[in-house]
Amino acid sequence: MNGKNMTEIELALEAVNNALLMAMCGEILQAIYDSEINYSISSPCWDGGFTAQLGGEFDSDRIVNDNCYKLVDAVKWIMEKVFEQYPESTFTQKYKPILKSRERLIKGPKNEGFGAENQKISNQWP
């Protein structure tokens, strides 16, 4: 979700999901490290947000995102890239099913729960 044209329910879910992700941040980053996947998160200057990088400094296939304004955005981005680039990693095998089940809980049963107008909610992260 990007914050534009979001309903109050979507904004509340986004806030809850970000809080849950931040609570799990250390566990998530440690699990990526334990999967022997290189990543880094840095803050080049106090008002410049965060830079997230997947791959080592000298890896030819490293991917960099310097548009993360919050730490939670950097962690989400790294997770997405790990899922894409390392589908067989122990991290992906452990966390992707957990996150997919949370996505189903957030969406709710079809045409029930939050109502049909809110079934478009598809936040992928905890």
CA–CA distances in Å: residue 23 to residues 17, 31, 43: 10, 14, 20
Exposed/middle/buried for residue 109 (C-beta within 10 Å: 0-12, 13-18, 19+): exposed
Indicate if the pLDDT at residue 113 is higher than 80: no
| Verdict on whether the full-model pTM lies above 0.85 | no
What integer pLDDT is reported at residue 74 of this predicted model? 93
- The residue extents of the domains of the chain are 8-108
pLDDT digits (tens, 9 = 90+) for 46-101: 778 899 999 988 877 889 998 898 899 999 999 999 999 999 999 999 988 877 66
pLDDT digits (tens, 9 = 90+) for 1-19: 455 677 888 888 888 888 8
Using alpha carbons, select from 103, 126, 120 the residue that is nearest to residue 9: 120
